[in-house]
Structures are given as C-alpha cells and as structure tokens.
Amino acid sequence: MFSIEGKLFGALSRMADLVILNVLFLLCCVPVITTGAAITAMYYVAGKMAENKEGYIFKSFFKAFKENFKKSTAIWLILLIPFLVASVDLYIMNFMSAGLGKTFLKGFMLLALLLVFFVMIYALTLQGTFENTIKNTIKNAVLISLGNVPWSLLVTFLALSPFIAILYVGEYFSMELLAMLLFWFSGAAYINSFILKRIYKKFM
C-alpha cells in the first residue's frame, strides 16, 4: 500500500512540476523574441526531470534561460527567417491555380518547413546540452536531424502536438483541452527528453 501511495504521490508531484514548467515556458514566450531561450530552458529542465535531477523548477529554468539567452535567441531568429519564408510561400500557393507545378512546389515547401522544425528543435536543445558556436550548433542540428529521421518526426510531432490540437480541435475547445494545455508543452518536452537523451548519448 505504501509503495502504491508513494508512486501516486510521485506521479502527482511530477505532474505539478510539469504544470509549473509549462506556465514558466508560456510566460517567457510572450515577447516572441524570447521563445528560443524559453524552449532551451524548458528542455533543459525537462531533461533534468527525465534523469530525476531537476532540483528547483524555478531556479533551474531561469538559470538555463539566462545562460542560453543570447545564443538561443540568435538561433531562434536565424531559423525563424526560413520558417516565415516557407509559411508565406505556402499561403501564397493557396491562390495559385491547381496543377502539377503547384503540387510539386507545395510538397517541396512542406518538406522545407518540416526540416526547419527538425533543425529548430535539435538546435535549441543542443544549445542547452553542449557548449558550441551558433554556427556549429545549427550545423550539428541539421546533421543529427537528417541522420535520425524517424526519431526527428516523432520528436517534432510531440513538440507540435499542442498546436495541432488547438488547430484541429479548436472548434470543440473545452475546459478539458484547456486543462491539458496546462502541461502539454512541458509534457511533450519531458517525453522528448528521453528520446533526445538517447540520440545525444553518442556525442557525450
């Protein structure tokens, strides 16, 4: 009985930590420009949680946020450019007449957008894991993402799952969905941390 109660308490404690981490992440994303540093800090804490070494959530989060702010912000802004270009191109294509050319271009831009997501997630998590230059961090992110495509797809899907839920379930928005969003971003980061740990292990 004690073991079951202990596990239940541990699960509830972990959930509470994820909610706190989620709120900190969302608050630090408000200026938009700080989103890169917020992602790095969230994954840093989530990675420590996956190893049961998180300590104090507030202290760990803002320590990682402050230490990685400059490089993570630079990485975020650099990768935001191709993201915006691909997004705008896809939007413009909606007004093009149907045809093989449109299908090809749309497919190409979707792949480009997917690659940007790959690189963005890896680069911002690598920043919180390894000491490197911005150029090398982005370069390594490209190589790792292309060398682990199946895992990259899963990690990207999990990272984007809150947005996917809002986009496709938004019309049925409910208190249940709102409650899930209170820990969804950090929860996805927590799950992804186990995957990323496995991928980065060979570079440790």
Q: pLDDT 10s digit of each residue in the chain, 204 long? A: 446 766 777 688 889 999 999 999 999 999 899 999 999 999 999 999 999 887 889 999 999 999 999 999 999 999 999 999 988 888 888 777 777 777 888 888 899 999 999 999 999 999 999 999 999 999 999 999 999 999 999 999 999 998 888 777 666 666 666 777 788 999 999 999 999 999 998 887
Phi, psi (degrees; rounded to nearest 5) at 84: -65, -40
pLDDT computed for residue 174 by the predictor: 67
Whole-prediction pTM value? 0.89
Other beta carbons within 10 Å of 40: 27
For position 195, what pLDDT does the model report?
A: 96
Taking the C-alpha atoms of residue 174 and residue 164, their distance in angstroms, rounded to an integer, is: 15
Distances (CA, A) of 192 to 47, 56, 91, 100: 9, 21, 30, 37
- 101 class by beta-carbon count within 10 Å (0-12 exposed, 13-18 middle, 19+ buried): exposed
Encoded tokens for 50: 């996956």
**pLDDT value of position 1:** 47
Q: What angle do CA 133, 69, 167 make, to 5 degrees?
A: 105
